[in-house]
Structure 1
């Protein structure tokens, strides 16, 4: 055997030491990864990770090694799965809170509308029970006065027409709508504009074919 093909004892020692160093390095790196995973294991314990059930014969086919196909492998994967579960829970909670916030705003709005409707109903009822010697007709304006006895009554004579000789204190001016509701005089213009829009909407929809969708064209023109 030639000298160049021979491996000296020193070379064998160097090679052996290199292999040991490489194995030690691999073992050290593996240990560091395991330690890092163990430090984050409380997250795994807090957020339980559910893995897919394993089977040695999926779809009726026997596996050569079910351990190789079903083993967990890198412990860092469990941490990643736990983080994903936690992140999913946080997003679900945030989405639920956002939806509940919108619902709460709608509830507050509906409560305010209900309160306003009850107040208007109470006012309209009191006005309908006010004394009046004439038959009230929808679309007309009426003036509310109060006698010293406390009786409230409607009149068709305005305070301006009475002048300084008004017999009783003036309480307010109201318009009787066609739905028999009362509108304060300072809100009459706004209410009439709303009713005009609704009337125009109903008229246009009546003239349209039944298969078309809502048509709001020209309502604000």
Structure 2
């Protein structure tokens, strides 16, 4: 019985020692991951009476909390980066779509400028596109209503020539004129504002 008690005490001591070693190893790993502030026995040239109180690690759970905080910080950084990249990706897709539309509009405008016309085209006027039996397309200043029942050729559409030499279909003219008027109004308002080093958006949302 005495020998058994001695063995039990030895086993308990070994377990305690193993537990202490495990805690120490865990604390060492956490200390390596957490990156604690460097310690010194002579802060600002003053000799400490006891550096243990200022340099000791303290409760191992403090290291766990610090490690968890670092991990959480890394997770937030990654999440924020992903969110920003998602916004950038959406902007890239939007710009790609806008670029595609610009190219399509440019091709359409160039194609209309190549249509035959016997008059000098002036920005701000409406022109009416027709096609002959031969397949030739041409612009005229006469609308189908002007021709009446005797319209000689197939009517393809009506377009307004803008001041930037782009073409606007008849069904979009009112919308385009409204947009142009709004832009001109904003330009006039900005030109009338006093000079300032700060950005001024007065009237942009009205």
Q: TM-score range by the shorter chain?
A: 0.7 to 0.9
Q: 1:150, CA displacement in angstroms? A: 2.7
- For 1:187-202, list aligned pairs within 5 A: 187-202=172-187
Q: Distance in 1 between matches of 2:69 and 2:195?
A: 52
TM-score by length of 1: 0.73
For each residue in 1:160-191, what CA deviation from the matched residue of structure 2 results, as whole angstroms up to 9, or x when unmatched? 33344333222211000111111111110001
Structure 2: distance between partners of 1:71 and 1:215: 60
Mapping 1:61-210, distance limit 5 Å: 61-210=46-195
Q: How far apart are residue 65 of structure 1 and its match?
A: 2.5
- Aligned residue among 190, 197, 202 for 1:215: 202
Runs of at least 5 residues in structure 1 that lack an aligned partner in the other structure: 1-30
The whole-number CA distance in structure 2 between the counterparts of 1:208 and 1:81 is: 55
Larger Rg: 1
Q: Map Cα deviations across residues 105-130 of structure 1 (whole Å, 9 max, x no partner).
A: 22222122111111111111111111
TM-score normalized by the length of structure 2: 0.78
Distance 2:84 2:96 in 1: 18
**Following TM superposition, by how much is the alpha carbon of 1:54 offset from its aligned partner in structure 2, in angstroms?**
1.0
- Aligned partners of 2:40, 2:189: CA distance in 1, in Å? 68
Query: Offset of 1:204 from its aligned partner?
Result: 2.6
**How many residues matched?**
182
